[in-house]
Structure 1
Amino acid sequence: MSTPPSPRLRIGFLLTPRFTLSAFATFVDVLRLAADDGDGSRPIRCSWKVLSHDMAPVQSSCGMRLEPDERMGDVSQYDYIVVVGGLIDGGPGLTPEQIAFLRRAAEAKVHLGGLCTGVFALARIGLMDGYRCCVSWFHHEDFLAEFEKMRPVSDQIFVVDRDRISCPGGVSAAHLAAFLVDRHIGRAAARKSLSILIIDEAMSADRPQPGLPLELSARDPLVRRALLAMQQNLHSPLPIARIARDLGVGRRKLERHFNADLGIPPADAAIRIRLAQARMLLSRTDRTVTRIAEETGFCDASHLIRVFREAEGTTPDLWRQQPQAEDEAAPMPM
């Protein structure tokens, strides 16, 4: 009997306490389906192991526990070491043994990755310094608060920067795994995995994250990414020129895309996003108009009142006193 070929893609996983089961399982299922012919699930073309220093089960954020496969050892056995995170305050984080293992892997030029908040764990030990990393829009501000000198990418579904990979979890984990399968095994294997998982097609890294619900329904990916940047900087709105620069385009090009897709310029879209957030805070909280103005990037209460009156025909305080239909208070999805 002939010896089976060595896997072309070898991945080791480190699970943090309260890790997100869906991100891990989705990523692994793409590998599993690409690894064998048919639905055999044999680790032939690629292999995957959950690694541990003590072999103790790890509890996920949903409460289910997962048993590791083997102890951490020779880092050269793997092409990628992927840290799977979950709840930011889920517990002690990486152990000293896991940290030492990751640093050995980095020194050996093994690719490192973070799923969900796994990139937080890598950043905390300095292994994302100088790299771009992908963070969920939901945790964008959390990341900035903890890592002031780093600028996370929160308008894409995953990021590959040299020997670092990262994604915010959820379905993006499938697309990042498919990217690796495509790179190491082939496009046919990647397409097969996604098709079996009932995912229409592989998405490129720069596909925008869904983000918060918006009353603006944008189809243009560039416009959607710009809208996400506006959402993520409500407290201190970015100049339109800065958003365009961050997206790698000129201001005029960004304005042309907005006018073609939404029929309004970016500056108007930014105001509408901030007004939508102000309406939500007015209808669902008892915060003062001054506080809401601060949280939504207006200069002061007078500025918010003036802009609000132009849009709604009344002041924020009077609007708050009127009965609001539930679907009026909540923005429409993108």
Structure 2
Amino acid sequence: MNSDKLTAPRKRLSVAFLLADRFTLSAFANFVDVLRLAADEDDRSRPIFCDWTVLSTDMEPVRSSCGVKVTPDRRLRHAGRYDYIVVVGGLMGEARNLPPELITWLRTSAATGVPIVGLCTGVFLLHEAGLLDGYRVCVSWFHHQDFLDRFEGAQPVSDQIFVVDRDRLTCSGGHSAAHLAAFLVERHLGQSAATKSLSIMIIDSPLGADKPQPGAPLNLKAQDALVRRALLRMQQSIDAPETIGELSFALGVSRRQLERRFREDIATTPLRAAHGMRLEKARALLLQTESTVTQIALATGFCDAPHLIRSFRANLGLTPTEYRAEHSVLSDSSPGRSSQPTTPNDPSTLA
């Protein structure tokens, strides 16, 4: 028999996982499934071309945020050499940090040049460990403000699905973990392996790092990636809106180009879209909270209550107080009456 057939192929991609308590199962599962499907010649899930290991200090099962537990594969003291170390974060405010031994090992590994990956809220753990200082960091739009509140002076990227900055790779979680894994598979095993994995997972094709995050639901349905990124930034800074000049600079385009792309894609201007988005948020707060008009004005980027009142009256024909009272009456009326606002849904029509 040919001796070559007895020699196992050299692993081209080796990944270690560190799972935080209450870790995000979807981020971990999406990432590891891309590796699993790329590791074999067909769909038999054998770790031929790449492998993956869950490390632990005590080998106790680690529970995910949904309650499903994962049993580690290997103790930290038996850890080998890996091409990447992936940290999967847990529930905000409820999860414990990684054990000190894991943090020390992470820092040592990073110092030797091993690339470190943060999935979902794993970026919080890496930042707390001092492993993201000076790096661009991807954070989910949902946790953007949490990141700013916790790390003063940080400037997270929340308008892309993942960010690769030298030997740090971070992603927003969810399906973006699959695309980041596909990026690594393509780097080490080739494009066909990455495409195969995603195809089996019913994902059309690999997305690049600069693909915009979906963000919170928007009434403005943009198709242009630049416009979607701009709208996402507007969402994230709704209480302290950027000027259109600041927005275009942050996106790396001229103001004229940004305005042209907005007109072509959603038939409005960035300024009108941002103003409409802030009014939509103010309307929601009027109906969903007991905040004062002044509090709502400040939370939605209006300089004061009179500014919000003028905008409301100009666009809706009512003051915020009148709008709240009218829709409170509707919601308390008979079941046959609609409690939904009767004004247009498209924020661009409000500006």
CA–CA separation in structure 2 for the residues paired with 1:149 and 1:295: 21
Matches within 5 A, 1:271-290: 271-290=275-294
Q: Does the alignment pair 1:302 with 2:320?
A: no
Q: Deviations over 1:112-147 (max 9, x none)?
A: 011110010000011000111110000000000111
The one-letter code of the counterpart of 1:29 is D
CA spacing shift, 1:88–1:177, aligned 2, 3 Å: same
Is the partner of 1:282 in helix, strand or coil?
helix
Structure 1 partner of 2:107: 103
Matches within 5 A, 1:148-297: 148-297=152-301
> How far is the alpha carbon of 1:21 from its aligned partner?
0.6
Is the partner of 2:86 in helix, strand or coil?
strand
Is the partner of 1:150 in helix, strand or coil?
coil
> How far is the alpha carbon of 1:86 from its aligned partner?
2.1
Q: Does the alignment pair 1:26 with 2:33?
A: no
> Across the two proteins, how many residue pairs are aligned to each other?
333
CA–CA separation in structure 2 for the residues paired with 1:98 and 1:264: 50
- Whether contact under 8 Å (1:75, 1:110) holds in the other structure is no
CA–CA separation in structure 2 for the residues paired with 1:76 and 1:222: 42
Structure 1's unaligned 5+ residue stretches are none
CA spacing shift, 1:229–1:189, aligned 2, 3 Å: same
CA–CA separation in structure 2 for the residues paired with 1:28 and 1:184: 15
CA–CA separation in structure 2 for the residues paired with 1:74 and 1:51: 9
Structure 1 partner of 2:56: 52
- Whether contact under 8 Å (1:213, 1:331) holds in the other structure is no
**293-302 vs 312-321, greater mean Cα deviation:** 312-321
Structure 1 partner of 2:334: none
CA–CA separation in structure 1 for the residues paired with 2:188 and 2:34: 13
Match of 2:148 among 134, 144, 161: 144
Q: Does the alignment pair 1:8 with 2:25?
A: no
Q: What percentage of aligned pairs have identical amino acids?
A: 58
> How far is the alpha carbon of 1:150 from its aligned partner?
1.5
> How far is the alpha carbon of 1:90 from its aligned partner?
2.6
CA spacing shift, 1:199–1:34, aligned 2, 3 Å: same
Match of 2:129 among 125, 138, 154: 125
- Whether contact under 8 Å (2:12, 2:189) holds in the other structure is yes
Is the partner of 1:14 in helix, strand or coil?
strand
> How far is the alpha carbon of 1:327 from its aligned partner?
5.3
Match of 1:87 among 79, 88, 91: 91
CA spacing shift, 1:73–1:245, aligned 2, 3 Å: farther
> How far is the alpha carbon of 1:215 from its aligned partner?
1.7
> How far is the alpha carbon of 1:76 from its aligned partner?
6.0
Q: Deviations over 1:264-296 (max 9, x none)?
A: 211111101100100111111111111100100
Pairwise CA RMSD of aligned residues? Answer: 1.7
> How far is the alpha carbon of 1:74 from its aligned partner?
6.8
Q: Does the alignment pair 1:78 with 2:82?
A: yes
Is the partner of 2:6 in helix, strand or coil?
coil
> How far is the alpha carbon of 1:216 from its aligned partner?
1.1
Structure 2's unaligned 5+ residue stretches are 331-337
Q: Does the alignment pair 1:316 with 2:331?
A: no
CA–CA separation in structure 2 for the residues paired with 1:271 and 1:237: 9
> How far is the alpha carbon of 1:2 from its aligned partner?
1.7
Q: Does the alignment pair 1:113 with 2:117?
A: yes
Q: Deviations over 1:220-271 (max 9, x none)?
A: 1101100110100111111111111111111111111111112221111110
- Whether contact under 8 Å (1:236, 1:297) holds in the other structure is yes
CA–CA separation in structure 1 for the residues paired with 2:48 and 2:110: 26
Is the partner of 2:310 in helix, strand or coil?
helix
- Whether contact under 8 Å (1:155, 1:225) holds in the other structure is yes
- Whether contact under 8 Å (1:11, 1:79) holds in the other structure is yes
Is the partner of 2:16 in helix, strand or coil?
strand
- Whether contact under 8 Å (2:55, 2:79) holds in the other structure is no
CA–CA separation in structure 2 for the residues paired with 1:10 and 1:61: 26
